Amino acid sequence: MQLTFTEEQEMMRKMVRDFAQAEIAPIVEKMDETDEFPREVINKMAELGLMGIPIPEQYGGVEMDFTSYIIAIHELSKVSATIGVILSVHTSVGTNPILFFGTEEQKQKYIPKLASGEYLGAFALTEPSAGSDAGSLVTRAVKKDDKYILNGSKIFITNGGEADTYIVFARTNPEEKGSKGVSAFIVEKDTPGMTIGKKERKMGLNGSNTVELIFDNAEVPVENLLGEENKGFKIAMANLNAGRIGIGAQALGIAEAALEAAIAYAKEREQFGKPIARQQGVAFKLADMATEVEAAKLLIYRAADLKSRGIDCAQEASMAKLFASTIATKVTTEAIQVFGGYGYTKDYPVERYFRDAKITEIYEGTSEIQRLVLSKNIFK
Ligand code: CAA
Ligand code: FAD
């Protein structure tokens, strides 16, 4: 097992790190305050090819491996978890479902625009009454002539108010219960009958657009059915596997940023006549935080490497997401502790890291759902 990155992967890390420092770090505080979608940053990322990292060149992507894509999410999230999730949703669950399950015509029509960043992608699975139990979704799609007519609503959709295409899941066979009888659709922004509802005001991840989608006799052309009718749930699950590595990388980036801030502060801050880093209570805390971040890094990059090599990694992806999100919440809480009262103020970024970290334990399958998936596999 190789534990080193290739030259290309290191180049990706340097490029993204430099970009994040130059273009994101200066606006990150303002974005947190205003909750404005960072369209300019996304446009610049598009110019660098970051909106289509693992997408084949034939469809307009830069065709780098999955690990390189995870490196980008990790490094972006270290500076802004908001930018990390925008890219993760756009790629893992906004573009990849079309790449892996679309017809050649669908791929030609949508992927070059998504990979170039001309289009932004979104993924709409969750409903008000169907979150963890995604298979209980009730949005209906009824085939009528050359269209499917969609009725229902989706909630908490990342990139929702800004996206150009949505991967939407709806029930096509009401006789079937649970995850069976669900189909996936590619829905375009200006689809008649689809409107953007409430925009969520969130604890963190400000700037990331999270909205409700309402379907009131929305008309989706039959050619926009993705994969086979009634087989859509598996499309959601298969793409969430890779998505979960991305959210794990987002958690890792946040945790690493908090750790680095805490180390720097502990070296500077003096109490009882010496830097607090020389108080064993603080130094041991930092040692634990560093160990947890390193362990998360290994799990994330191990899952990414398996995925890059085309090896099934659902179990490793779940473990990586579960562990990285858990330690991100813990490490960011401890970072505030290291900063003392200053950590609780907006003068330092650690309170933002803490607010941003929490969501990684919730979306793309809560920690409880990761444990459910893992335990099912363990006892198989
Ligand atoms: N990979 C591939 N296939 C999978 C799979 C996986 N990880 N998990 C399940 N499947 C397949 C199963 O094999 C099964 O196939 P068959 O019908 O052929 O047997 C089918 O999917 C149904 O599986 P289950 O019977 O296990 O389904 P379930 O109804 O019991 O639910 C669940 C499974 C794992 C709990 C699922 O509902 C789940 O993942 N819930 C969490 C929802 C979630 O992650 N939402 C994320 C929304 S997107 C988001 O949040 C975006 C963002 O972060 C910004
Ligand atoms: P619930 O399912 O109601 O869960 C509530 C609690 O019960 C949780 O702690 C959960 O773990 C626990 N629980 C539920 N079932 C079990 C069980 N069987 N065993 C043990 N514990 C259980 N969705 C999308 O489709 N697309 C998106 O782009 C998207 N982006 C999001 C962005 C944000 C900021 C947020 C907040 C959510 C987003 N989501 C998105 C939705 C997200 O995936 C769901 O919130 C998540 O899957 C949990 O569903 P829920 O909120 O309905 O919680």
ipTM above 0.95, yes or no: yes
Centre of ligand 2 from the C-alpha of residue 362, in Å: 6
Confirm whether 176 is a catalytic residue: no
For the CA of 240, the closest atom of ligand 1 is 44
Centre of ligand 1 from the C-alpha of residue 236, in Å: 7
- Contact at 8 Å (CB) between 128 and 84? no
> For residue 380, what pLDDT is reported?
81
Q: Rounded to whole angstroms, how far apart are CA atoms 215 and 213?
A: 7
Per-residue pLDDT in tens (0 to 9) along the chain, 380 residues: 667 999 999 999 999 999 999 999 999 999 999 999 999 999 999 999 999 999 999 999 999 999 999 999 999 999 999 999 999 999 999 999 999 999 999 999 999 999 999 999 999 999 999 999 999 999 999 999 999 999 999 999 999 999 999 999 999 999 988 899 999 999 999 999 999 999 999 999 999 999 999 999 999 999 999 999 999 999 999 999 999 999 999 999 999 999 999 999 999 999 999 999 999 999 999 999 999 999 999 999 999 999 999 999 999 999 999 999 999 999 999 999 999 999 999 999 999 999 999 999 999 999 999 999 999 999 88
Nearest CA to ligand 1 atom 27: 179
The verdict on the CB of residue 123 being under 6 Å from ligand 1 is yes
> For residue 102, what pLDDT is reported?
98
Q: Is residue 226 classed as helix, strand or coil in its secondary structure?
A: strand
pTM: 0.97
> For residue 166, what pLDDT is reported?
98
Centre of ligand 2 from the C-alpha of residue 365, in Å: 6
Written as one letter, the residue type at 129 is S
Q: Rounded to whole angstroms, how far apart are CA atoms 299 and 305?
A: 10
User: What is the dihedral sign for C-alpha 83, 186, 198, 171?
Assistant: negative
Instruction: Tell the burial category of 210 from Cβ atoms under 10 Å away from its Cβ (0-12, 13-18, 19+).
Output: buried
Nearest CA to ligand 1 atom 2: 238
Indicate the top mutation candidate among 37, 132, 201, 237 to test ligand 2's pocket, ranked by most ligand atoms within 8 A of CB: 132
Q: How far is CA 129 from the centre of its chain?
A: 22
Angle at 237 between CA 234 and CA 242, to 5 degrees: 130
For the CA of 124, the closest atom of ligand 2 is 25
For the CA of 368, the closest atom of ligand 2 is 11
Q: Which of 75, 162, 256, 364 is catalytic?
A: 364
Q: How far is CA 167 from the centre of its chain?
A: 15
> For residue 97, what pLDDT is reported?
98
> For residue 1, what pLDDT is reported?
65
Centre of ligand 2 from the C-alpha of residue 343, in Å: 29
The verdict on the CB of residue 135 being under 6 Å from ligand 1 is yes
**Helical ranges in 154-231 per DSSP H:** none
The verdict on the CB of residue 89 being under 6 Å from ligand 1 is yes
All structural domains of the chain: 7-120 (1.10.540.10), 122-232 (2.40.110.10), 234-379 (1.20.140.10)
Centre of ligand 1 from the C-alpha of residue 308, in Å: 21
